[in-house]
């Protein structure tokens, strides 16, 4: 039985990618399917797949969900809007020195009177002890929460990517607006990118089509909980965050065609794995999932995985170890560090094969 400490490793700070590679498909690709890893470039991916394989992407789109404002007292405040509910209500993380009480109104981006919007705190969410907060938003012209975020928000980059998010002018804003979205991002709702998808560009997609590799999409709106550290040494005590997902009918049909022709299901990213395996376990094509995949998990759908390099002690690291085998995964990480691969959201990628259930 693995514990939290088993997923720790020492990462030199200079290997944490602060910017994307000059070209999406110019990232490195560590091919970890065989016992001995092979160093490749991501644009070589199509040649590593077979005609009849099915690539499944997560088509979620990252919201400009981070908004800065202040309380009525003038104290600074930051909201990270996790999801939009009905009407003008949203659920958000709140970063502030002293939290306001329910009923209080805070002024975001200058407040509604100055062209921004106001947010009235309604309650904690999802219950009285929940970690998030439910707000009602009000702009000067009755804008929807989606419109308010698009106009006044910032992309919620991961905490390890250093940016001047609260500055009047962020010199990296244009780069991040383009490169922290996949080229096929469609459904708005995520507060973090499905980062394995960031390596795909039109040239790679065209090469995959020419190779005879089919494409399909699922949607999982990645929540801020993806960066939440696991704090319990006993993994069974960790409470996994919940995220909304959907497997559309067209993808169900593509999965069936792949099965009938003997192709392999290739998941682009851990979020796609969580979506497909949640559907396989529950039979539900849409809903909330808090699936926690650790070594010993029995995969039912995914046979190959494209993924980035993840944080030490993270649930994503555990999922990858469950998929490719714990010992093999840790060996690949040692290789990647020794060879200077770039880590995390803007970093390089791995291509992995599902291991036989063992560790």
Listing DSSP states for 64-83 in one string gives --EEEEE-TTS-EEEEEEEE
pLDDT in tens, 198-243: 999 999 999 999 999 999 999 999 998 777 779 999 999 998 888 9
pLDDT in tens, 122-181: 999 988 888 899 999 999 999 999 999 999 999 999 989 988 655 556 677 889 999 999
Q: What is the pLDDT of residue 285?
A: 98
Q: What is the pLDDT of residue 315?
A: 95
What does the pLDDT average to over 45-74? 96
Buried b (16+ CB within 10 A) or exposed e, 211-243: bebbbbbbbbbbbbbbbeebeeeebeebeebeb
Q: What is the pLDDT of residue 359?
A: 47
% of the chain exceeding 70 in pLDDT: 97
Q: How far from the centroid of its chain's Cα atoms is residue 326's Cα?
A: 22
Q: Which residues pair with 349 in a beta bridge?
A: 29, 308
**Average pLDDT of the chain?**
94
Q: What is the pLDDT of residue 280?
A: 98
Distance from C-alpha of 43 to C-alpha of 205, rounded to nearest angstrom: 10
Distance from C-alpha of 54 to C-alpha of 57, rounded to nearest angstrom: 10
Q: Tell me the CATH architecture of domain 66-153.
A: Beta Barrel (2.40)
pLDDT in tens, 187-207: 999 999 999 999 999 999 999
Listing DSSP states for 237-249 in one string gives G-----EEEE--H
For domain 4-62+179-353, give its CATH number from 3.40.50.11540, 3.40.1780.10, 2.40.70.10, 3.40.50.720. Answer: 3.40.1780.10
Q: Same fold for the domain at 4-62+179-353 and the one at 66-153?
A: no
Which residue is it, tokens 């702009």? 139
Listing DSSP states for 265-309 in one string gives EEEESHHHHHHHHHHHHH--SEEEE-----TT---SS--EEEEE-
Q: Which of 240, 259, 241, 203 is nearest to 54 (CA)?
A: 259
pTM: 0.93
Distance from C-alpha of 309 to C-alpha of 344, rounded to nearest angstrom: 5
Domain limits, the chain: 4-62+179-353, 66-153
Q: How far is CA 164 from CA 17, 64, 167, 172, in A?
A: 16, 15, 5, 8
Distance from C-alpha of 81 to C-alpha of 176, rounded to nearest angstrom: 18
Q: Which of 267, 348, 357 is nearest to 310 (CA)?
A: 348
What does the pLDDT average to over 321-331? 97
């Amino acid at each position: 039985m693995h514990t939290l400490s088993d997923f720790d490793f020492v990462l030199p700070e200079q290997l944490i990618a602060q910017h994307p590679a000059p070209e999406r498909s110019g990232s490195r690709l560590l091919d970890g399917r065989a016992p001995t890893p092979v160093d490749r470039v991501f644009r070589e991916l199509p040649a590593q797949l077979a005609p009849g394989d099915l690539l499944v992407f997560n088509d979620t789109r990252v919201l400009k969900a981070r908004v800065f404002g202040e309380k009525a007292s003038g104290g600074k405040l930051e909201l990270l809007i996790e999801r939009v509910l009905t009407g003008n209500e949203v659920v958000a993380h709140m970063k502030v020195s002293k939290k306001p009480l329910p009923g209080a109104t805070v002024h975001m981006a200058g407040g509604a009177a100055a062209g921004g919007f106001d947010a009235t705190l309604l309650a904690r969410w999802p219950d009285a002890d929940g970690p998030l907060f439910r707000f009602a938003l009000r702009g000067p012209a009755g804008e929807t929460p989606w419109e308010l975020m698009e106009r006044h928000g910032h992309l919620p980059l991961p905490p390890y990517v250093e940016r001047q998010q609260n500055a009047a002018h962020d010199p990296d804003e244009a780069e991040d607006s383009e490169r922290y979205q996949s080229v096929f991002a469609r459904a708005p709702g995520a507060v973090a990118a499905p980062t394995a998808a960031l390596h795909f560009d039109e040239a790679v997609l065209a090469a995959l089509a020419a190779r005879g590799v089919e494409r399909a999409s699922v949607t999982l709106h990645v929540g801020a909980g993806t960066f939440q550290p696991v704090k319990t040494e006993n993994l069974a005590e960790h409470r996994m965050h919940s995220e909304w997902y959907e497997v559309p009918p067209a993808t169900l049909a593509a999965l069936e065609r792949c099965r009938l022709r003997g192709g392999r299901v290739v998941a682009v990213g851990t979020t796609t794995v969580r979506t497909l395996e949640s559907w396989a376990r529950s039979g539900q094509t849409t809903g909330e999932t808090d699936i926690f995949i650790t070594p010993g998990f029995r995969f039912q759908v995914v046979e190959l995985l494209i993924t980035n390099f993840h944080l030490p002690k993270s649930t994503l690291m555990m999922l990858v170890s469950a998929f490719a085998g714990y010992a093999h995964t840790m060996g690949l990480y040692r290789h990647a560090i020794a060879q200077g691969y770039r880590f995390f959201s803007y970093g390089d990628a791995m291509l992995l094969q599902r291991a036989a259930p063992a560790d």
